[in-house]
Amino acid sequence: MATAANRVLVLNGPNLNLLGEREPQVYGTATLANHMDAATSTAVELGLQLDSLQSNSSAEIVNAVHSARGVYDAIIINPGAFTHYAWSIHDALAAFSGPVVEVHLSNPSTREVWRHESVIAPVASGTIAGFGGNSYVLAVQAVARLLASK
């Protein structure tokens, strides 16, 4: 579907380092490492190279997006709470030329009202939410299709 040259960066925002411990009734018991392993396995099957970064700092995520320009073909991002207010991440992603897929383990639209708006969605090719850890796998599959259709 995609070529071996296709590189994908997965960015994970604040508190996602606590997956498996933090609110398991909402986010499940799998760790971020478990999710990245599943995403990486899917990427390999689809001929993609996947790298990931988790940060609790919006500045570090902005810098990662800037550094991804010309190096990565696509970005998958679970911005966590940055989803709702991090315009700096929005602006950085707007300057990235490849597909961007926004990911959420839970469905923000079914949660607290303040979670309903995403400042990332307007610069994303699409959003995958509410499928737990499968959200990452679905995002990798979506990126592979988007890259193949270029």
* DSSP SS3 for 123: helix
Model confidence pLDDT, tens digit, residues 60-98: 999 999 999 999 999 999 998 888 878 999 999 999 999
Number of domains in the chain: 1
Look at the block and give the residue holding tokens 């988790």: 54
pLDDT of residue 2: 47
pLDDT of residue 118: 85
CA 95, CA 116: separation in Å to the nearest integer?
Answer: 24
Q: Side chain identity at 41, as an amino acid letter?
A: S
108 belongs to a structural domain: yes
- From residue 47, give the alpha-carbon distance in Å to each of 3, 4, 50, 116, 135: 6, 5, 10, 34, 19
Model confidence pLDDT, tens digit, residues 97-117: 999 999 998 777 656 675 658
91 belongs to a structural domain: yes
Contact 143, 48 (CB under 8 A): yes
**Per-residue confidence band for 21, with pLDDT thresholds at 50, 70 and 90:** confident
Q: Is 144 exposed, middle or buried (0-12, 13-18, 19+ CB in 10 A)?
A: buried
Q: What is the CATH number of the domain that holds 85?
A: 3.40.50.9100
2 belongs to a structural domain: no
73 belongs to a structural domain: yes
pTM of the model: 0.90
pLDDT of residue 22: 77
Catalytic residue ranges:
27, 104
Range of the domain at 143: 7-148
